Amino acid sequence: MKQVVVKNDLAAAKKPEEAILEAVRRFGYGENCTFAIKLALEEAVTNAFRHGNQKDPDKHITVRYEIDATKILIEIEDEGPGFDPGDVPDPTLPEYIDRPHGRGIMLMRAYLDTVEYIKGGCAVRLEMFRKE
C-alpha cells in the first residue's frame, strides 16, 4: 500500500485525497463511485483531524491506499486515543436528528462496502469493490 503522512491539517490532507481521487478516475471508476470516495475521504479525514487528533497541529494523519481495477482500499489513521464506534448514536433517531454532528460514520457506511475501525478506533479501513 502507498502511504502518505501529513500534518494534522485539513489543507495538508488534500494532497493524498487528490492523489486517491486521481487514481480512482485513472482506473475508470464511475461518477457515483468517485462521489462516494470523495465523501468518505472527507468524513474520515475530518474525523481524524477533529475527533482523533483533537485539532492538535503537532499530530499527524496517515493515509494508506491501494487502488486497482477491482477495488479501492483506503486507511486513515490518527494519533488519538481511539474510540468505540458502537458508542456513536444513530443520528436518525428522533432524539438525535436535530444534532449538528454525528453523521459522518453513517454516510461512509451507506456508500462503501466496508467501513471497519481498527487499532482501537485510531484507524478506519474503507473498502469499495468495482460494481460497474
Q: Which residues of 11-32 are buried (b: 16+ CB within 10 A; e: fewer)?
A: ebbeebbeebbebbeeeebeee
Residue 35 or 66: the one with the smaller Cβ distance to other proteins is 35
DSSP 132: -
DSSP annotation string for 64-107: EEEE-SSEEEEEEE-SS----GGGS--TTSTTTTT-SS--HHHH
Instruction: Single out the segment in contact with other proteins by CB under 8 A; choices: 19-27, 31-39, 60-68, 74-82.
Output: 31-39
Shortest distance, position 128 Cβ to other proteins, whole Å: 15
> Which residues ranging from 58 to 97 are in contact with other proteins (CB under 8 A)?
91-92, 97
The sign one gets for the Cα dihedral 4, 61, 12, 41 is positive
Q: Which is nearer to other proteins, 3 or 32 (CB)?
A: 32
Among the listed residues 43, 75, 77, 78, the single contact to other proteins using CB under 8 A: 43
Among 12, 19, 27, 42, binds other proteins (CB under 8 A): 42
Binding residues vs other proteins (CB under 8 A) = 10-11, 32, 35, 38-39, 42-43, 46, 50, 91-92, 97-104, 106-107, 110
